[in-house]
């Protein structure tokens, strides 16, 4: 469950524990990031509660877990019926977690009162005043207030907890296994609730909630499992949203990604604009955000990785993606003012690049956009001979003596985004009856010519990375090349070229997966960042032979371009969302299913979700809108 400033997650599986001789039940946590975390205006990302356990003096047998964006229910039965309903809300300047049991029970709160940037395990201070408990920690401006109990059992217990998925990293133990983590948890007291209700409040007095994650009533989609899954996908999409400078801003994901990452937000917006305009009708909300980002990009001559004061890490891929999103939003909403602002920023970007000043750490060199090797989304770093080296570049290039952090590298997806953004700005100029500035048409012509001579690679995908001054080219096949092909189809690549490259690409880039909940068929699921067969372990493999769903909309667009029905891949990504990871959300990356699984199951041949289980740019919905009928999804627009 997510709100503007908090999130709460648990495993579906119930586990028993013993505290002070009493048997408690509660949901497991698989990541140490699970439980209740908040985004505090002063303390930053902070975890306040790890586990919520209950004891109704009954032996509980789990039946089912029911979830929607407003709450979740753990239901127990057969011999003894018992339900727990948990909800997370924001009330003005307060975050509230409520647990409501179907009868009187004892509660045990497992505290992990720790900052998310250091996980310093300091012990909290606890004060009980009548029927209220206050929990604080020295040095941090955070307080928890617990109410709803009429009796207190002294505990002071400490529990060591193992989180089997840890931070999403894995290691080789003769078979591949997730690297578990451990935390020391504190139970300050056990609390008796006479009616089963316990209220946990966290005052956040500095900022009033903007209501950016309010529940939206969605239209009926039909009763098929696919329709219900798609409606859930829409509902959970609408839970993304922080308040940044008083504006709605979709955070990058759950856990450590609850921050305003610009490239993640813009990539997610690119594949959700129609959804936002169709269902909640967020025209004004989107326009205000995009207008602000256009102003920011011009003021800073670029866009930082994270939107925060003093940001120094600038990205090469976010600026052209912003221009594309802004152009599309202007065209879809017929907003001339926004397009004129987009046009002026595009002219400024083109002018700076043509004059040799650069923009957002990118320069125009040899008729292509050149940037630091780690400035686009393929940004992981390793160490070679004691020096940092971007994993994007071949290790053989170390011997050339090049500096990988200078603006010397042509990144295929960045150049494709620039060419596409300039093209659409020019096209929409005609629609709005405006003259396209000469700087834009000149840069567009230069970059098209440069792409032809530097990136095109005959019957293979365009080169992943080039260093034009030294004539270096990395011909590794993978998703950035497919992204470029899908982006530039009909611009730089002719229809016959697209058809030919698709025929030679699909066998070594596309990864298949079998359905688990929405059928049993096996369909395409996504594509590899880099061709290969190595499994994911950690940061070295972060952008290697793994599947990133953030790339999948480009694959779908390419399939549509060549006349291949994408229904299977759309269904497969819905199936992932309801069968693994965090239910209702979409995972960050997937490893190939290799690793000597000691206990294989029918799903063991599927790609394995690793790292963050809820990622905004993986949560695309627009590609579904053209194929609702094929997916048995009924949609009647609500009357407005």
Are 496 and 575 members of one domain? yes
Are 505 and 596 members of one domain? yes
- The pLDDT of residue 638 is 47
SS (H, E, C) 453-516: HHCCECCECCCCEEECCCCEEECCCCHHHHHHHHHHECCCECHHHHHHHHHHHHHHHEEEEECC
Are 421 and 539 members of one domain? yes
Whole-angstrom Cα distance, residue 615 to residue 272?
14
Are 269 and 182 members of one domain? no
Q: Which of 153-157, 169-173, 613-617 holds the top average pLDDT?
A: 613-617
Are 157 and 247 members of one domain? no
Flag whether 638 is in a domain. no
Which band of pLDDT confidence, cut at 50, 70 and 90, is reported for residue 458?
confident
Whole-angstrom Cα distance, residue 345 to residue 339?
10
pLDDT at position 222 over 60: yes
- The pLDDT of residue 636 is 61
Domain containing residue 111: CATH number: 2.70.98
Are 54 and 131 members of one domain? yes
Supply 623's token pair.
Answer: 């590609």
Flag whether 334 is in a domain. yes
Are 199 and 245 members of one domain? no
Are 334 and 291 members of one domain? yes
Which band of pLDDT confidence, cut at 50, 70 and 90, is reported for residue 156?
confident
Instruction: Express each pLDDT in 534-589 by its tens digit.
Output: 999 988 899 999 999 999 999 999 999 999 999 999 999 999 999 999 999 999 99
- The pLDDT of residue 311 is 85
Least confident among 79-88, 152-161, 174-183, 333-342: 152-161
Q: Which residue has the higher pLDDT, 161 or 602?
A: 161
pLDDT at position 416 over 90: yes
pLDDT at position 410 over 50: yes
Instruction: Express each pLDDT in 31-56 by its tens digit.
Output: 999 999 998 877 788 999 999 999 99
Flag whether 453 is in a domain. yes
Flag whether 1 is in a domain. no
Flag whether 47 is in a domain. yes
Task: Say whether pTM exceeds 0.75.
Answer: yes
Nearest partner of 91 among 237, 235, 249, 199, judged by Cα:
199
Are 476 and 611 members of one domain? yes
Supply 251's token pair.
Answer: 């955070």
- The pLDDT of residue 119 is 86
Angle between helices 283-300 and 318-333 in degrees, nearest 10: 140
Flag whether 632 is in a domain. no
Strand pairing class (368-371; 409-411): antiparallel
pLDDT at position 500 over 80: yes
pLDDT at position 29 over 90: yes
Domain containing residue 557: CATH number: 1.50.10.10
- The pLDDT of residue 596 is 67
- Mean per-residue pLDDT, 291-304: 97
Are 184 and 298 members of one domain? no
Strand pairing class (368-371; 363-365): antiparallel
Contact 239, 70 (CB under 8 A): no
Structural domain range at position 146? 6-203
- Mean per-residue pLDDT, 619-624: 98
Flag whether 634 is in a domain. no
> How many domains are contained in the chain?
2
Flag whether 211 is in a domain. no
- Mean per-residue pLDDT, 96-112: 96
Which band of pLDDT confidence, cut at 50, 70 and 90, is reported for residue 196?
very high
pLDDT at position 174 over 50: yes
What integer best gives the mean pLDDT of the chain?
Answer: 93
Are 141 and 261 members of one domain? no
Are 413 and 516 members of one domain? yes
Radius of gyration of the chain (CA): 26
Whole-angstrom Cα distance, residue 50 to residue 43?
18
pLDDT at position 237 over 60: yes
Partners of 387 in the beta sheet?
384
């Amino acid at each position: 469950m997510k709100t503007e400033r908090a999130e709460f997650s648990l495993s579906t599986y119930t586990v028993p524990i013993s505290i002070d001789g009493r048997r408690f039940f509660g949901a497991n946590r698989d990541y140490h990031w699970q439980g209740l975390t908040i985004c505090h205006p002063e303390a930053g990302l902070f975890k306040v509660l790890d586990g919520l356990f209950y004891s109704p003096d009954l032996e509980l047998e789990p039946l089912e877990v029911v979830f929607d964006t407003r709450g979740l229910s753990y239901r127990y039965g057969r011999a003894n019926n018992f339900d727990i309903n948990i909800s997370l809300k924001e009330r003005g300047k307060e975050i509230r977690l409520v647990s409501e049991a179907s009868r009187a029970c004892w509660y045990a709160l497992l505290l992990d009162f720790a900052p998310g940037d250091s996980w310093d395990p300091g012990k909290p201070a606890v004060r009980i005043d009548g029927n209220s408990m206050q929990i604080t920690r020295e040095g941090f401006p955070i307080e928890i207030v617990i109410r709803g109990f009429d009796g207190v059992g002294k505990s002071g217990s400490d529990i060591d907890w193992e989180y089997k998925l840890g931070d999403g990293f894995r290691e080789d133990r003769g078979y591949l296994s997730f690297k578990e983590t451990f935390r020391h948890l504190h139970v300050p007291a056990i609390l008796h609730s006479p009616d089963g209700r316990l209220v946990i409040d966290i005052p956040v007095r500095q900022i009033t909630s903007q209501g950016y994650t309010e529940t939206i009533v969605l239209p009926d989609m039909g009763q098929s499992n696919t329709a219900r899954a798609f409606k859930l996908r829409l509902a959970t999409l609408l839970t993304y949203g922080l308040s940044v400078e008083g504006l709605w801003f979709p955070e990058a994901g759950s856990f450590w990604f609850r921050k305003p990452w610009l490239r993640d937000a813009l990539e997610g917006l690119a594949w959700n604009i129609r959804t936002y305009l169709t269902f909640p009708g967020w025209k004004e909300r989107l326009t205000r955000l995009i207008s602000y980002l256009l102003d920011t990009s011009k003021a800073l001559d670029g866009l930082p990785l994270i939107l925060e004061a003093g940001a120094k890490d600038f990205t090469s891929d976010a600026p052209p993606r912003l221009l594309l999103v802004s152009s599309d939003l202007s065209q879809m909403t017929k907003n001339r003012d926004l397009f004129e602002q987009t046009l002026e920023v595009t002219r400024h970007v083109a002018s700076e690049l043509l004059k040799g000043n650069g923009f957002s750490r990118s320069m125009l060199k040899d008729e292509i956009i050149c940037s630091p090797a780690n400035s686009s989304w393929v940004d992981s770093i390793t160490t070679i001979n004691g020096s940092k080296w971007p994993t994007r570049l071949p290790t053989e290039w170390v011997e050339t003596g090049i500096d990988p952090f200078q603006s010397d590298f042509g990144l295929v997806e960045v150049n494709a985004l620039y060419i596409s953004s300039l093209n659409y700005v020019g096209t929409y100029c005609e629609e709005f009856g405006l003259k396209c500035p000469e700087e834009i048409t000149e840069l567009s012509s230069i970059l098209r010519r440069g792409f032809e001579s530097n990136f095109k690679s005959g019957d293979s995908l365009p080169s992943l990375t080039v260093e034009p001054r030294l004539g270096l080219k990395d011909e590794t096949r993978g998703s950035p090349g497919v992204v470029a092909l899908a982006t530039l189809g009909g611009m730089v690549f002719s229809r016959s070229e697209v058809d030919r490259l698709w025929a030679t690409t699909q066998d070594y880039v596309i990864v298949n997966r079998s359905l688990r909940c929405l059928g049993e068929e096996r369909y395409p699921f996504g594509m590899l960042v880099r061709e290969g067969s190595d499994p994911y372990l950690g940061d070295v493999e972060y952008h290697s032979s793994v599947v990133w769903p953030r790339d999948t909309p480009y694959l779908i667009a390419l399939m549509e371009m060549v006349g291949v029905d994408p229904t299977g891949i759309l269904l497969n990504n819905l199936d992932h969302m309801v069968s693994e990871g965090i239910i209702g959300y979409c995972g960050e990356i997937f490893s190939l299913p290799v690793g000597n699984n000691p206990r294989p199951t029918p799903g063991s041949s599927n790609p394995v979700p690793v790292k963050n289980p809820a990622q905004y740019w993986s949560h695309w919905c627009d590609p579904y809108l053209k194929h609702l009928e094929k997916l048995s999804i009924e949609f009647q627009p609500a009357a407005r």
